[in-house]
Structure 1
Amino acid sequence: MNPKKLFTVLSSALILTGCSNDDSSAGIDTPAPAGSVTYEKDVKSIIDNNCIVCHAAVPQNGAPISLVTYNQVKDAVLKRSLIIRISLENGNNVLMPKGGPRLPQQTIDIVKQWEKDGLFEK
């Protein structure tokens, strides 16, 4: 299987298995548990400092989406493989930020923990 097709299949599988949610309160804006990673406290500054140059309100440099709001970033994690894209190795042509360098692992781990903690806004 060619690498692009393999990446697409693996990304789809990851997204499909990670998108199920049995929590009946998923649509309610609930605060994060104490100590959890949240968008406002931890993730927004990462996006603002590393992504907004291209993923602005009006995307630039060929970026397909905006990453200005909480909902846009959450959607990018759930449906657009944001974590996979920032986790790729330098030199990969789909690594984000585009053209690299790769974000520090500690920064990537914060975004991963945000997803694991429930993608809370505040």
Structure 2
Amino acid sequence: MNKLKSILFLIPVALLQFGCTNDSESDLVGDPIIIDEITYTNTVKNIIDNNCIICHATTPVFGAPMSLTTYADVKNAVLNRGLLISISKAQGETGLMPVGGTRLPQATIDKITNWAENGFQE
């Protein structure tokens, strides 16, 4: 009788373990996670404010050549001032921004690059 109880107990456990797998995306429930589009307002401004504004303020300080406080300033810096080149240099390379700091993570640089490549969405 104990063997029968054990077998009867194991059958539902086995069905649950092996019967509930499916690799079909069409069977997934719920809405997919939508990643926010990279725009100046929702992504780039935050990066600039946290990494660049200390020098590139409304009135630039510490030898910074331009302000990066507005959408127009940052767009112009990407298009005409080599901002992407400056932030993409290797750690320790001359001209790396932020000056004297650690190179931005590649994922952060990629966000700014993506923003530029996709039309500088505001």
Q: TM-score, normalised by structure 1?
A: 0.69
Matches within 5 A, 1:77-116: 77-116=78-117
| Distance (Å, rounded) in 2 between the aligned partners of 1:88 and 1:56 | 22
Q: Distance in 2 between matches of 1:45 and 1:102?
A: 16
State the partner residue of 1:30.
Answer: none
Cα RMSD over matched residues? 1.2
How far off its partner does 1:104 sit?
Answer: 0.5
Q: Work out whether 1:75 is the aligned partner of 2:76.
A: yes
> Where has structure 1 moved over 4 Å in runs of 4 or more?
none
1:5 maps to none
Superposed displacement of residue 45, structure 1: 0.2
Structure 1: state its 5+ residue gaps.
1-33
Amino acid at match of 2:96: L
For 1:116 and 1:36, how far apart are their aligned partners in 2? Answer: 12
Distance 1:74 1:99 in 2: 24
Question: For 1:99 and 1:53, how far apart are their aligned partners in 2?
Answer: 12
Equivalent in the alignment of 1:48: 49
Instruction: Kindly indicate whether the alpha-carbon contact (under 8 Å) linking 1:38 and 1:114 is maintained by their aligned counterparts in 2.
Output: yes
Work out the number of aligned pairs and report it. 88
Which SS does the other structure have where 2:101 is aligned?
A: coil
Structure 2 CA distance for aligned equivalents of residues 83 and 47 of structure 1 = 12
Q: Runs of 5+ in structure 2 lacking a partner?
A: 1-34
Q: Give, in whole Å, the separation in 2 of the partners of 1:105 and 1:53.
A: 21
TM-score of the superposition, structure 2-length normalised? 0.69
The percentage of aligned residue pairs carrying the same residue is 55
Matches of 2:40 and 2:103, distance apart in 1: 21
